[in-house]
Amino acid sequence: MMRGQRLQNLLDPTILCFLVGLVAGLVKSDLKLPKSSYEFVSMYLLLAIGLKGGVQLSKTNIQDFLPALYGTVFIGVCVPIIAYYYLIATKKFSRVNAGAIAAHYGSVSAVTFATALSYLESLGESYEAYITTLMVVLEIPALCVGVYLAKGGFKNVETKKKLLEDIFFGKSIFLLGGGLLIGYVAGAEKMQPLDPLFVDLFKGFLALFLLEMGVMTSQQMSHLKKAGIILAIFAITMPLISGALGLFVAKAVGMSTGGAHLLAILAASSSYIAAPSAMKIAVPEASPTLYLTASLAITFPFNITVGIPLFYYLAQLL
């Protein structure tokens, strides 16, 4: 059964677009989305996810949402701590680099989440209406804890104001949060005229973005030798650990199979947009080669090809 789910995911057009981009990058093709197009598509996906989540949230009883909210904050604090001490235990990473990498693994990947949403919808699997809200919630404690670990406290962060602005008002959080608010206030009926743009075209834009992500992933693969085998092992095993924690929390608060799957994917994913930006501000001495190679070249492709069907299978078993 697991093999069939994995094959189905690999044959999804969006995943095939990622593989085409990956091959194009490896063979040095000039295939690449223009920077302005990449920015537009990333903003579209973030806003579309937020709008869809807001509409669903408007139908949710707040009492049903609170246990999942507390569980998500727990994940956001625990995952970077686990990742940090995992890396420190290898004796291959400094405190600064371990903290910066840990922040990426506590933070989330919107594109991995979008791919998981598409996967569930192709299976006709339902999920909790508030799940997108949890994605926004998960981002904030993870980045704060990662910076705290990397710097040995917040008093050593010279640009606290800029860091907080980047965490709370950066593009990812602002578009997701803004979309949630718009969708929640407007509701399903008023949002319906926008469905042709933000619902019907969503998977097409996701395919374009994954095509570009394939090219970007291939570029980071050149750093694998420099990063080392220990980092590669971490980048594959850490999503399994954090994803298992996500499944445990989801089931503890009574989430459905679809919801448990999505929370596991959120916990297992690693950021390559919000976290790198925050680390450049707060921990400029950390090595981008290490955290981008782990997050983008290893964990991202692992999650969208193996992690998504794996955690759905495990959610079904639970």
Q: What is the mean pLDDT of residues 200-228?
A: 84
Q: What is the mean pLDDT of residues 125-129?
A: 90
Q: Which residue has the tokens 């704060």?
A: 144
- pLDDT tens by residue, 244-282: 999 999 999 999 999 999 999 999 999 887 788 778 877
What per-residue confidence (pLDDT) applies to 263? 97
Percent of the chain with pLDDT over 90: 46
**pLDDT above 70 (res 1):** no
Kindly state the greatest CA–CA separation across the chain: 56
Q: What is the mean pLDDT of residues 183-197?
A: 91
CB 108 within 8 A of CB 269: yes
What per-residue confidence (pLDDT) applies to 197? 93
- pLDDT tens by residue, 134-183: 888 888 888 888 888 887 766 666 666 776 776 777 777 788 888 889 99
pTM of the model: 0.85
Domains of the chain in start order, with CATH, are 34-213+225-317 (1.20.1530.20)
What per-residue confidence (pLDDT) applies to 259? 95
Residues 304 and 300: their CA atoms lie apart, in Å, by 6
Tell me which H or E stretch contains 294: none
- pLDDT tens by residue, 226-251: 778 999 999 999 999 999 999 999 99
* Residues 6+ away with beta carbon under 8 Å from 233: none
Dihedral in degrees, nearest 10, Cα atoms 138, 201, 171, 301: 60
Residues 163 and 185: their CA atoms lie apart, in Å, by 29
What per-residue confidence (pLDDT) applies to 157? 63
What per-residue confidence (pLDDT) applies to 82? 97
